[in-house]
Amino acid sequence: MIPAAFAYHRPADIASAVGLLRRLGDEARVLAGGHSLIPMMKLRMAAIEHLVDLQDIAALRDIHIEGGAVTIGAMVTQAELIAHEGLARAAPILREAALQIADPQVRYMGTLGGNVANGDPGNDMPGLMQALGADFLLTGPDGQREVAARDFYEAAYMTAREDDEILTAVRFTALPGGYAYEKQKRKIGDYATAAAAVLIGKEGGRVSHASVAMTNLSDTPVWSEAAAAALSGTDCNAGAIRAATDAALADIDPTEDNRGPVEFKRHVAGIIITRAIQRAWSRA
């Protein structure tokens, strides 16, 4: 189908984009990669009067790494995440997760900012950003503010971003250790039935720090503090992994859909979480 008529805006800088959103109000929507918004417009599920395209804003395409501090602009594509050697060294889980998103055509256009900003519970990067302990930089008429990824998601498609704000960058501190992003999906290009991001540090043969987050198993991404606590201080033996998996499963709330009933999703989630912990520990 063809979208309804709309006005197209292509600002060259962040200030201009924010100014458009402030002036146009509820009639405007930001366009990043377009993989979520454009199909909704074509199906007439979203009626947009003004489309504000961020493609020309060079400041949103930067990747900056200094020591363990990583800042990634919102318009960096999944393909650029995969290709960036500095990111592969600092936070290799980003490449591992991005390679499992859809297909190459989608990854060449789909952006990190778009993936984390729209609140779709099926997107891969929100859970990963929670596992990394990332912060999201939001810029609006009143300036810039930071919101922790673990506080950003309120419900499906509902986030802490205000309508006149733009998510401009993602920041996190990369910690050494093992990592894994495990994902089960029905076919190439599909959202996950269940996915898990796990980071584990190792010191003296024991877990020094851990982080476990899950995708598409509730109406928001889920970071499981209890799962991390179950692993911390252990030698990541079978009992500790089982306890961590059980703790993570207690934190999810899947719903039945065309990817399966709740019981099946919980079964798949248990396998995916266990595999992710085991593989992260093997790399620690």
What whole-number distance in Å separates Cα of residue 76 and Cα of residue 148? 19
Q: Which two tokens stand for residue 266?
A: 């919980």
**Secondary structure (DSSP) of 164-212:** T-EEEEEEEE---SEEEEEEE-SSTTPPPSEEEEEEEEEETTEEEEEEE
CATH class of 7-53: alpha beta
Token pair 């894994």 is at which residue?
A: 180
Give the model's pLDDT for residue 4: 87
Give the model's pLDDT for residue 59: 96
238-251 and 262-283 are packed helices; what angle lies between their axes, rounded to 10 degrees? 140
Do 7-53 and 178-283 agree at the fold level? no
Q: Which residues contact 148 (CB under 8 A, 6 or more apart)?
A: 133, 134, 135, 136
One digit per residue, pLDDT tens: the chain, 284 residues? 788 899 999 999 999 999 999 999 989 999 998 888 887 887 787 788 999 999 999 999 999 999 999 999 999 999 999 999 999 999 999 999 999 999 999 999 999 999 999 999 999 999 999 999 999 999 999 999 999 999 999 999 999 999 999 999 999 999 999 999 999 999 988 999 999 999 999 999 999 999 999 999 999 999 999 999 999 999 999 999 999 999 999 999 999 999 999 999 999 999 999 999 999 999 99
Give the model's pLDDT for residue 47: 81
May I ask the CATH architecture of the domain 178-283? 2-Layer Sandwich (3.30)
What whole-number distance in Å separates Cα of residue 72 and Cα of residue 64? 6
Fold of 58-173: 3.30.465
Secondary structure tally for the chain: helices H, strands E: 12, 14
Give the model's pLDDT for residue 114: 95
Q: Considering only CA atoms, give the Rg of the chain.
A: 19
**Domain ranges (residues) in the chain:** 7-53, 58-173, 178-283
Give the model's pLDDT for residue 263: 97
Q: Which amino acid is at 164?
A: D
